[in-house]
Amino acid sequence: MTKDKIKQYVYIGQVKSETTRCKIGITDDLQRRLKEYNSITGKSKDDTYKYLFTCKVEDAKLLENDIKAEFRLMREKRSREIYFYNDDLFEKYVDFIKSHKAFVEEIFIKTDVQKEIVKIVKRTNPTLKERELSPKDIMQKAQKVKNDEFYTQYEDVEKEVEMYDAEIWKDKVVFCNCDDAVGDTEDKNNNNTSAFALYFIKNFEKLGLKKLICTHFSGGIDLFSQGPKGYVYTYIFTKTKNEETREFPKGYNGSFDDPLSLKILNEEADIVCTNPPFSRARDYWNIVINSGKKFLIISNFTNVKNQPYIQYFRENKVWAGYNRVDYYLTPKKQVTQAAGHWYTNFEIKDRPKYENMKIMPLGKIPEKYKEFDDKKTLVVNNNYIPSDYKKPFAVSVYPILSGVLEKGYKLVEDKEYVPYINGERQFGRVLLQKI
């Protein structure tokens, strides 16, 4: 049989008991491959191997190599096709495969495993409605991080802040109300000072800041060895020298919702810039956005479709910043990965991600990237946006993060939209409509 006549498939599979990993492989027989895996792993119901996604392709080896190159950092080991897994990563894997030139079509199969008939369909995101994402949900590595400790790296702060006009910082009081720690002046480095404080101290004069205020949280893990007590750190630079103080108010825990932190936010701060704990993002967004202050913060990549946050995007109170943030420090000062993004209410000028979107008439969008769901709602994939479609249509989070709301489109609902196609639940999305 020639290569052209051999059936070629790419699949994403997973052992039921290993939810932080998945296998991305190729085969010429999906049924046989699944049985082979289950003859090894399928010793109990907890070890059953299943497909999360399957598709037919024209050149499986080419696509496999391109997946390895694109997601090289997501591979558990270079010698194995085992990749780290969570819902955000799965969506990335599928989007990459579907947009590849070797992709032909997604397929669905039925298979008999352990005398149980299972319909194999594409894995979909569970609803994010009315819930927060825990570190486990957003982790991209098979590694559990406790206490919601994700510490931003200096280069990520620098990369984002320097995208904005420096004038926005002039004569402003910057408040880092989830920044954790500032080390001694004589030894400012990435080991004893958190990235936000370090960046603003180093660039205080360049930005023309009036004052920097940071708070140190007394709970959790003391990553920067700044002690167990909550404190307020202030930094001011005069013509002759810099002045810094630490205050340890009685009973103060350093949390962003402590009465003293709220007082600083409302009475002193002009701009808030920090990385709030992902698990408390809902409370944090509510406090900061309702304060009316300018802000530049990091939060979960999928917040744009989560019910607690989507209202803010609809009301034009927040929008995506310029960059994603994928790498953080753990309490052990090791680099780990999580799906984050910058969010702000500062004006975005010449957003580079505009180029990611393909805005064109509906008729010109390739058929494989558009379909109607069971409610007759148009579902568009791969960052395509119909320019001449008047009704609401569903898209993933990527166009929102790429700035589609700045291109004459609006969000239709204050909740996630979950399409069903042929009775099968698809990825959660948001509804857009041209203004």
pLDDT in tens, 8-40: 999 999 888 777 789 999 999 999 888 888 876
Cβ of 292: how many Cβ atoms within 10 Å? 10
Q: Are residues 258 and 364 both part of a single domain?
A: no
Decide if 102 contacts 60 (C-beta within 8 A): yes
Q: Are residues 82 and 189 both part of a single domain?
A: no
Residue-wise burial string across 98-113, b where 16 or more C-beta atoms lie within 10 A, e elsewhere: bebebbeeeeeeebeb
Decide if 404 contacts 395 (C-beta within 8 A): yes
C-alpha closest to that of 67 among 100, 28, 106, 91: 100
Q: Are residues 272 and 221 both part of a single domain?
A: yes
pLDDT at 228: 53
| Interior angle at CA 19, CA 44 and CA 72, nearest 5 | 125
Q: Are residues 142 and 269 both part of a single domain?
A: yes
C-alpha closest to that of 218 among 237, 209, 231: 231
pLDDT digits (tens, 9 = 90+) for 332-363: 667 777 889 999 999 998 899 999 899 999 99
Residue 125 lies in a domain: no
Please tell me the total count of domains within the chain: 3
Domain carrying residue 99: 3-120
The residue-averaged pLDDT of 419-424 equals 92
pLDDT digits (tens, 9 = 90+) for 231-258: 788 888 776 667 888 888 888 888 899 9
- Token pair recorded at residue 346: 């500062």
Last residue of a domain, one of 325, 349, 373: 349
Last residue of a domain, one of 120, 147, 182: 120
Residues in a beta bridge with 344:
296, 319
Q: Are residues 156 and 239 both part of a single domain?
A: yes
pLDDT digits (tens, 9 = 90+) for 382-401: 999 999 999 999 999 999 99
pLDDT digits (tens, 9 = 90+) for 148-194: 566 888 999 999 999 999 999 999 999 999 865 666 544 455 556 78
Q: Are residues 400 and 275 both part of a single domain?
A: no
Q: Are residues 253 and 325 both part of a single domain?
A: yes
Residue 294 reports pLDDT greater than 70: yes
Q: Are residues 323 and 363 both part of a single domain?
A: no
Query: Could you tell me the pTM of the whole model?
Result: 0.66
Last residue of a domain, one of 323, 349, 375: 349
Highest mean pLDDT among 99-108, 277-286, 364-373: 364-373
pLDDT at 110: 62
C-alpha closest to that of 42 among 118, 121, 101, 136: 118
Q: Are residues 311 and 207 both part of a single domain?
A: yes
Residue 130 lies in a domain: no
Q: Are residues 88 and 161 both part of a single domain?
A: no
User: Which CATH number do you get for residue 187?
Assistant: 3.40.50
Residues whose CB falls within 8 Å of the CB of residue 100, separated by 6 or more in sequence, listed in order: 57, 63, 66
